[in-house]
Amino acid sequence: MSDAYIALADGRVLEARARAPGRTRGELVFTTAYTGYEESLTDPSYAEQVLTFSYPLIGNYGVRSERFESETVQPRAAIAREFTDDVAEWLAGEDVPAIDHLDTRELVTTVREEGAMACGIAAGEDVTPEDAIAEMEACKPMSDHVDIGAGVSVAEPELHEADTAGEADARIALLDCGAKGSIIESLNARGADVHVLPYDAAPADVSAVDPDVLFISNGPGDPENFVAAKEVVDAFAGELPLAGICLGQQIVASALGGDTEKMTFGHRGVNQPVKDLRTDRVVMTTQNHGYTVADPGPLEVTQINVNDDTAEGLEDEELGILTRQYHPEANPGPHDSLDFFDDVLAMADSTTEIAAD
């Protein structure tokens, strides 16, 4: 008899093996990354989701905390064809349900064909298919998680100082909508002090930092729910250089009059090809998002996804705006686009003392 079940919104209930017990629910998504499971499992952008790994064996090089992108496991549950004991024990210690010994190829195909969907998981002794179904039926759509930022953001401002000796070359005010740690580290490594602010910070909080650049981080959920972040962008657009990654790009575009939309199954993996429309250069990128910019508003689309033509880069030289839908910091993934952070810091050179309106 099985000791784990996953119920899908399409009506099916699949049997599995419990590797970490518990009952939970979330939006079922998948990643095609074949390495970087520690980084993926600690990426705040996976909040309120159930993460399926398409690569069949997860855990073959252990678990090391120095690879984590945040302090805790972020998805509601994890699924693989097979988890090693190291990963299973780690997830059990974090009280995150994990199941394996099921056909993850079928799950991935289902999500690709039908879209990211609600699911429920029940794992452990004496669970029943009805337990998983009850979890699935209680699952909310991602857009209904209106305050999802509260669960992934810092509660109070934090200062992460530059790695370089002496005075920092730049001050960055980073709105933490669910930032990966490697984004902060990438800026620190280039001589910037990073002032990490809560996702719901007010324009006055940004002004108090007196930053050279305002940076909107990645994060989970629907960008339209990050109302405070959009107000900050609106307050400083044209007055202070603006940068953003992933959710940050969507927030910036939305704040300036553009539109965003939910994708069928999103982009999640480390092999997404992106073309620069100015140079015709194609780079491989790391991505993790389920929403995209449908209308960039006043911003210019400078990079697109080769697979589906969605916006991957937005810019406005006059306003001093530079955003990317993908993750230039990688972790995991290719390092083809690390120069994004150099371009962000180059914008700081033209900064003057600014206060929000």
| 62 is an annotated ligand-binding site residue | no
Residues 6+ apart with CB under 8 A from 198: 153, 154, 155, 156, 157, 175, 176, 205
Per DSSP, which regions of the chain are E strands? Answer: 4-8, 13-20, 22-31, 49-53, 57-58, 77-79, 82-83, 98-100, 117-123, 158-160, 170-176, 192-198, 213-216, 242-245, 259-276, 282-295, 300-305, 311-316, 321-324
Per the annotation, the verdict on 139 as an active-site residue is no
Torsion of CA 197, 346, 180, 55, to 10 degrees: 160
| 319 is an annotated ligand-binding site residue | no
| 271 is an annotated ligand-binding site residue | no
Closest alpha carbon to 57 in 17, 94, 93, 104:
104
Per the annotation, the verdict on 261 as an active-site residue is no
| 247 is an annotated ligand-binding site residue | yes
Please identify which of the residues 246, 289, 312, 315 carries the catalytic annotation. Answer: 246
Per the annotation, the verdict on 329 as an active-site residue is yes
| 331 is an annotated ligand-binding site residue | no
| 219 is an annotated ligand-binding site residue | yes
Contact criterion met (CB below 8 Å) for 200 and 177: no
Please identify which of the residues 145, 195, 289, 327 carries the catalytic annotation. Answer: 327
Extract the annotated binding site for L-glutamine: 45, 219, 221, 247, 250, 288, 290-291
Question: Which residues are part of the catalytic machinery?
Answer: 246, 327, 329
Extract the annotated binding site: 45, 219, 221, 247, 250, 288, 290-291
